[in-house]
């Protein structure tokens, strides 16, 4: 093996080295396990690191590579999996003591697809309880006194800190985009129903999205191509850094709610994108936006109550405060209120399509703040929840640091099932913004 700092390798870089015999899957895995052993006592990103299973899998994939057999660009690439995805033979806790000893017999569809593409399941990453708001123990690699965000806390921290080049998460409100922004990585929430959710423990059936984290937009295209099953899977041609996009800038609510430093950073990013040739258009939020967050919360509470029903009645005392409150409130929602919330979602979907007419993407800050100090909260998902409600695809790209040296991101929203186009816009923005910094080692 050539002298490599494997923690810094992207998927595309590692894949190329494996294909040309300069790095084996086993060597890559061992380098990442060393990284985990060094940082995990501080960051606490993992529930389970499957050393034995991952090593056996890496040996198998190493033999295949030596024989000239490659399953694709994820061949030999270690992956973290949020601990609400079923993994056959590997404990899956949902972040709850209720499932501390639960071992599924089948893989989630997404996990099975990754395995089929040659990925190595490195282990299970920390999640907030049942993917809501009760914090996981994970810390932010940029500053361990700050939250990494949630609910996909461990996945974001693992990718950011170089423990693995990609990890699966989920988003019902802002659980991929927000932690990706807080941890300075790329986060993707595809169109609702683009990626199969079978085998992912639900929070809210009509709001839950499979998502994931990478360190580059190019890598995001690779992962999406594997898990989307050929539906809207991007190709290398998507990543065109030559054609400047039309960007619809959303102010209003987003400007009013953003912290001063966040909006200042967003303004700087927008200026740089404009200077590089992007056409910048102001887009107004529709009147229905005033009730979008309320509709999202009502749907989520109602469906969470349905998901947890019998389990909640039997083991309520074992639920933490956040998820207990959500399920309790959902049990009180009358049917007509739920139906009205669905009507609001339908209206917003139409208005969101109208907002995207004539632009390639809508652009906002990825979160109202940088990563908050302390581990009592995972941050504010309000900039992300509207796009979870309407199910449109979203990607966040790191855009710089605030005055305290914490990452900021820009959130790009596109039309449903237009992931190829959205990733192309994101790749252009990534190239212009040029964010290459990584967190200081926290130990």
pLDDT digits (tens, 9 = 90+) for 169-225: 999 999 999 999 999 999 999 999 999 999 999 999 999 999 999 999 999 999 999
Q: Around Cβ 72, how many Cβ atoms within 10 Å?
A: 14
Residue 233 has pLDDT above 50, yes or no: no
How many C-alpha atoms does 108 have within 13 Å on its Cβ side? 28
Q: In angstroms, rounded to a whole number, what is the distance separating the alpha carbons of residues 348 and 343? A: 9
Residue 230 has pLDDT above 70, yes or no: no
In a domain, 405, yes or no: no
Average pLDDT of the residues of the chain = 95
Q: Which of 26, 96, 152, 175 is catalytic?
A: 175
What is the average pLDDT across 37-41? 97
- Residue 210 in tokens: 């499979």
pLDDT computed for residue 42 by the predictor:
97
In a domain, 27, yes or no: yes
In a domain, 48, yes or no: yes
Q: Which of 82, 113, 124, 189 is catalytic?
A: 82
In a domain, 57, yes or no: yes
Domain that holds residue 23: 12-238
Where does 268-421 show beta strands of DSSP type E? 279-283, 361-365, 394-401, 407-413
In a domain, 389, yes or no: no
26 a catalytic residue: no
Q: Which of 133, 143, 151, 155 is catalytic?
A: 151
Backbone φ and ψ for 392, nearest 5 degrees, come out as: -75, 150
> In this structure, what DSSP letter does residue 200 have?
B
pLDDT computed for residue 234 by the predictor:
46
pLDDT band at 443 (very low <50, low <70, confident <90, very high): low
> In this structure, what DSSP letter does residue 125 have?
E
153 a catalytic residue: no
In a domain, 383, yes or no: no
Q: In angstroms, rounded to a whole number, what is the distance separating the alpha carbons of residues 87 and 123? A: 9
In a domain, 350, yes or no: no
| Count of domains observed in the chain | 1
pLDDT computed for residue 436 by the predictor:
84
Task: Give the pLDDT confidence of 294-341 residue by residue, as tens digits.
Answer: 999 999 999 999 999 999 999 999 999 999 999 999 999 999 999 999
The CATH number given to whatever domain includes residue 194 is: 3.90.1300.10
> In this structure, what DSSP letter does residue 105 have?
S
pLDDT computed for residue 439 by the predictor:
86
175 a catalytic residue: yes
Q: Are 25 and 39 in contact (CB under 8 A)?
A: no
pLDDT computed for residue 206 by the predictor:
98
């Amino acid at each position: 093996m050539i002298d490599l700092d494997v923690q810094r390798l992207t998927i595309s870089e590692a894949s190329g080295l494996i294909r040309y015999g300069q790095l084996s899957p086993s060597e890559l895995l061992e380098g990442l396990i060393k990284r985990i052993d060094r940082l995990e006592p501080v960051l606490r990103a993992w529930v389970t690191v499957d050393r034995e299973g991952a090593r056996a899998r890496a040996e198998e994939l190493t033999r295949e590579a030596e024989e000239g057999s490659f399953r694709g660009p994820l061949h030999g690439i270690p992956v973290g999996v949020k601990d609400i995805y079923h993994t056959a033979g590997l404990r899956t806790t949902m972040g709850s003591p209720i499932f501390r000893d639960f071992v599924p017999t089948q893989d989630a569809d997404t996990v099975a697809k990754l395995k089929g593409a040659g990925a190595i399941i490195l282990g299970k990453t920390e999640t907030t309880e049942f993917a809501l708001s009760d914090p996981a123990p994970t810390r932010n690699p940029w500053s361990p006194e700050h939250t990494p965000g949630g609910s996909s806390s461990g996945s974001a921290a693992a990718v950011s800190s170089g423990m693995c080049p990609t990890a699966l998460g989920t988003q019902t409100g802002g659980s991929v985009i927000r932690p990706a922004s807080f941890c300075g990585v790329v986060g993707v929430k595809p169109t609702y129903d683009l990626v199969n959710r079978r085998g992912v423990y639900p929070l809210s059936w009509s709001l839950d999205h499979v998502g994931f984290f990478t360190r580059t937009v190019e890598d995001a295209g690779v992962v999406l191509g594997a898990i989307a099953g050929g539906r809207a899977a991007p190709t290398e041609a998507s990543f065109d850094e030559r054609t400047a996009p039309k960007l619809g800038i959303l102010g209003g609510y987003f400007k009013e709610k953003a912290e001063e430093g966040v909006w200042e950073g967003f303004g700087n990013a927008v200026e740089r994108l404009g200077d590089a040739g992007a056409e910048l258009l102001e887009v107004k939020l529709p009147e229905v936006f005033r009730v979008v967050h309320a509709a999202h919360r009502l749907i989520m509470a109602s469906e969470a109550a349905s998901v947890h029903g019998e389990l909640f009645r039997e083991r309520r005392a074992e639920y933490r405060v956040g998820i207990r409150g959500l399920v309790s409130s959902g049990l009180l929602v009358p049917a007509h209120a739920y139906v009205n919330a669905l009507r609001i979602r339908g209206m917003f979907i139409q208005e969101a399509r109208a907002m995207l007419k004539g632009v390639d993407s809508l652009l906002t800050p990825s979160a109202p703040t940088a990563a908050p100090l302390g581990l009592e909260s995972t941050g504010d998902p309000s900039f992300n929840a509207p796009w979870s409600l309407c199910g449109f695809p979203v990607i966040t790209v790191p855009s710089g640091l605030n005055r305290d040296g914490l990452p900021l991101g820009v959130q790009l929203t596109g039309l449903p099932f237009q992931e190829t186009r959205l990733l192309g816009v994101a790749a252009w923005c990534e190239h212009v913004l040029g964010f290459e910094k990584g967190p200081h080692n926290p130990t």
